[in-house]
């Protein structure tokens, strides 16, 4: 269970990284509106990654406590 949550967190981190890169590219081109859209997507993906990571760590701690 914790391993699956870590995998989900990693996927969200990858999505966030891609969105950050795309935002930077649009910003450099002067397309600030699109850059803002991608920045917001990056933020959302980062938040999801944080939630999944927190869940994974909680599950790991619960599993260790049961031993």
pLDDT along the chain (67 residues), means of 10: 82 95 97 97 95 85 78
- Chain-centre distance for alpha carbon 61: 21
pTM, two decimals, is 0.81
State the pLDDT at residue 66: 79
Burial class (CB in 10 A: 0-12, 13-18, 19+), 24: middle
Domain ranges of the chain: 2-61
């Amino acid at each position: 269970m914790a391993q699956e949550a870590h995998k989900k967190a990693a996927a969200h981190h990858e999505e966030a990284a891609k969105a950050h890169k795309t935002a930077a590219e649009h910003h450099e081109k002067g397309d600030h509106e699109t850059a803002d859209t991608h920045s917001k997507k990056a933020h959302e993906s980062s938040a999801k990654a944080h939630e999944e990571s927190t869940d994974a760590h909680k599950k790991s701690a619960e599993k260790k406590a049961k031993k």
